């Protein structure tokens, strides 16, 4: 007989991450006698000196940057009947995370806006837990009070998943930034969800290992956000999907080590290699690049060409200076990977400032970016659903590595059958019966 599972409390939160790091044959092994914990934000600079990404409009620049339109004013979305945070709630939350309940409107400005500056929520409360226990208490309280919450890591996501849509409480992992253990033979790293990827990279490289994940947002993104979005990135071709190197997750409140945590395979130590960026200027160079990278691989030390990689990693940021970026992250058959770029250039003509395609050849992932001075509903109408129909026509995927978040949830049907969507809904309802956990995201509005 099948057991009838009745969740007593919400079970959904990445807290503690366990993963296999890869021993880098060419990375110098150093003796280490420092502290056993990675310092908090600001304590460590990036390995390659990139540091945290500066978002347009963040901090002091915010007064000069154009205001981002509130999400419900741009997108057709209605607030669900969650409770509104009251003074009593604030007092209760203050009891759970003393001194770490943020209500200052100025401090809340940046976490309410996504990195691309395309969506804006109106949350009035941000919480900064330090421990799993605090996260568990917060979620239990919010579940009881029917308050919606929005987990936030480095807030570098591309699909509006990390920012509230309305007034959800933002639960930031910024202070959950401790390495809990590292095994220098197996390469198993255990850390909190809020560790910044670049700090982790530096930490393991000092011990002769390589993180199996690297991406342009590394100076800001958190490992919890990486795992939540199953980020792909620049080492995908060499080390495969991030999920393949995640050994376990502690999920609040019921998933504890040794009792049903998901686990995955260990990555065996092997010589370090990296995948490469691909920005062809012509069909010939494209074919040549494909041959070189796909069949031969690029054996080189991780980060042996830092300037080249720095250029690659800044493409996203550079494009955002054009104004508004219509961003697509598609999986396509390799032999059609770049066709949509030329097609769209012809279709859009001067109505777009730039149509650019780049990305990750190794996993058939095209980052298609169309830029314009400002958001235009008519340009959007020319792009969508055309881009999604074109992708579906190739049996591709409308989301390769950035996830669905808020902005892509309603196009999931182009890549998944109704049965799969229904199953996803059932799983979500099982883990989050009141739907308070990051509502308005991932699942389509209509089945
Ligand atoms: C310059 C740049 C380059 C990028 N390059 C790549 C790339 O090469 N490959 C790629 O895949 N992506 C890339 N991205 C996007 C990528 O998804 C994010 O950078 C990163 O993985 C998200 O991490 P984050 O900590 O910023 O998460 P956030 O943006 O804060 O959150 C992302 C999602 O995860 C959820 N989340 C965050 N933390 C937790 C948690 N602890 N528990 C549960 N849910 C959580 C959030 O609610 C949200 O839905 C890039 C982004 C930028 C800005």
Q: What is the pLDDT of residue 312?
A: 87
Of 254, 273, 292, the one marking the end of a domain is: 273
SS3 state at 412: helix
β-bridge partners, 181: 190
**Extended beta strands in 77-178, E state:** 101-102, 126-127, 149-152, 169-172
CATH code of the domain covering residue 336: 3.30.70.2740
Residues 245 and 355 in one domain: no
Asked if residue 424 is part of any domain, the answer here is no
pLDDT for position 27 = 32
The closest alpha carbon to 21, from 182, 153, 176, 179, belongs to: 182
Give the alpha-carbon dihedral of 440, 441, 445, 447, to 10 degrees: -140
Kind of pairing between the strands at 149-152 and 126-127: unpaired
Distance CA 44, CA 40 (A): 8
Residue-range definition of the domain harbouring residue 209: 1-273
Q: What is the pLDDT of residue 46?
A: 30
Residue 441 covered by a domain: no
> With a cut of 0.90, is the ipTM above it?
yes
> Measured in angstroms, how far is the CA atom of residue 53 from the centroid of ligand 1?
13
Nearest of 55, 63, 53 to residue 320 by alpha carbon: 55
Number of domains the chain is built from = 2
For ligand 1, is residue 155 a contact (CB within 6 Å)? yes
Q: Does residue 248's CB lie within 6 angstroms of at least one atom of ligand 1?
A: no
| 436 in Cβ contact with 150 (< 8 Å) | no
Q: Is the CB of 219 under 6 A from ligand 1?
A: no
- Report the pLDDT value the prediction gives residue 170, as an integer from 0 to 100: 98
pLDDT score for 418:
94
The segments of the chain whose pLDDT lies below 70 read: 1-65, 253-304, 446-447
Segments in 46-104 forming alpha helices (H): 71-74, 87-96
243, containing H or E segment:
none
Q: Which atom of ligand 1 is nearest to the CA of 115?
A: 53
Tokens 């939160």, residue located: 13
Distance (Å, whole) CA 319 – CA 117: 12
How large is the C-alpha radius of gyration of the chain? 22
pLDDT at position 212:
94
Residue-level pLDDT at 305:
79
Residues 212 and 95 both lie in one domain: yes
Q: Residue 255 has what DSSP assignment?
A: B
Specify burial of residue 347 (Cβ count, 10 A radius: 0-12, 13-18, 19+).
middle
Residue 425 located in a structural domain: no
């Amino acid at each position: 007989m099948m057991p009838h599972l009745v969740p007593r409390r919400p079970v959904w939160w990445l807290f503690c991450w366990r993963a296999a790091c890869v021993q880098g044959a060419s990375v110098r092994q150093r003796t280490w006698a420092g502290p056993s914990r990675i310092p908090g934000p600001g304590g460590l600079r990036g390995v390659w000196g990139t540091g945290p990404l500066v978002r347009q409009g963040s901090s002091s620049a915010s007064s000069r940057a154009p205001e981002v339109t509130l999400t419900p004013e741009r997108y057709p979305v209605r607030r669900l009947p969650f409770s509104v945070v009251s003074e009593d709630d604030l007092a209760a939350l203050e009891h759970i995370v003393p001194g770490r309940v943020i209500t200052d409107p100025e401090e809340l400005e940046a976490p309410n806006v996504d990195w691309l500056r395309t969506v804006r929520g109106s949350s009035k409360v941000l919480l900064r837990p330090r421990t799993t226990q605090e996260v568990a208490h917060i979620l239990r309280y919010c579940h009881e009070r029917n308050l919606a919450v929005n987990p936030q890591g480095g807030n570098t996501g591309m699909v509006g998943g990390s920012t509230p849509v309305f007034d959800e409480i933002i639960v930031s992992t910024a202070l959950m930034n401790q390495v809990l253990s590292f095994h220098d033979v197996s390469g198993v790293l255990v850390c909190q969800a809020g560790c910044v990827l670049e700090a982790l990279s530096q930490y393991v490289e000092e011990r002769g290992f390589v993180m199996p994940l690297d991406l342009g947002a590394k100076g800001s993104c958190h490992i919890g956000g990486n795992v939540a979005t199953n980020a792909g990135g620049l080492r995908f071709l060499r080390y495969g999907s991030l999920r393949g190197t995640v050994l376990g997750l502690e999920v609040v409140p019921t998933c504890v080590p040794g009792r049903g945590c998901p686990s995955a395979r260990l990555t065996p130590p092997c010589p370090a290699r990296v995948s490469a960026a691909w920005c062809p200027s012509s069909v010939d160079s494209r074919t040549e690049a494909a041959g070189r990278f796909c069949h031969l691989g690029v054996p080189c030390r991780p980060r042996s060409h830092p300037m080249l990689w720095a250029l690659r990693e800044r493409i996203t940021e550079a494009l955002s200076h054009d104004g508004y970026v219509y961003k697509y992250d598609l999986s396509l058959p390799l032999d059609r990977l770049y066709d949509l770029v030329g097609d769209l250039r012809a279709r859009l003509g001067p109505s777009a400032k730039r149509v650019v395609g780049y990305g990750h050849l190794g996993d058939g992932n095209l980052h298609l970016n169309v830029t314009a001075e400002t958001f235009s509903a008519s340009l959007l109408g020319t792009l969508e659903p055309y881009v999604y129909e074109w992708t579906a026509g190739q049996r591709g995927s409308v989301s390769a590595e950035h996830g669905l978040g808020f902005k892509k949830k309603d196009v999931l049907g182009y890549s998944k059958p109704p049965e799969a969507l229904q199953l996803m809904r059932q799983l979500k309802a099982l883990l989050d019966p009141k739907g308070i956990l990051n509502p308005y995201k991932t699942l389509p509005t209509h089945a």
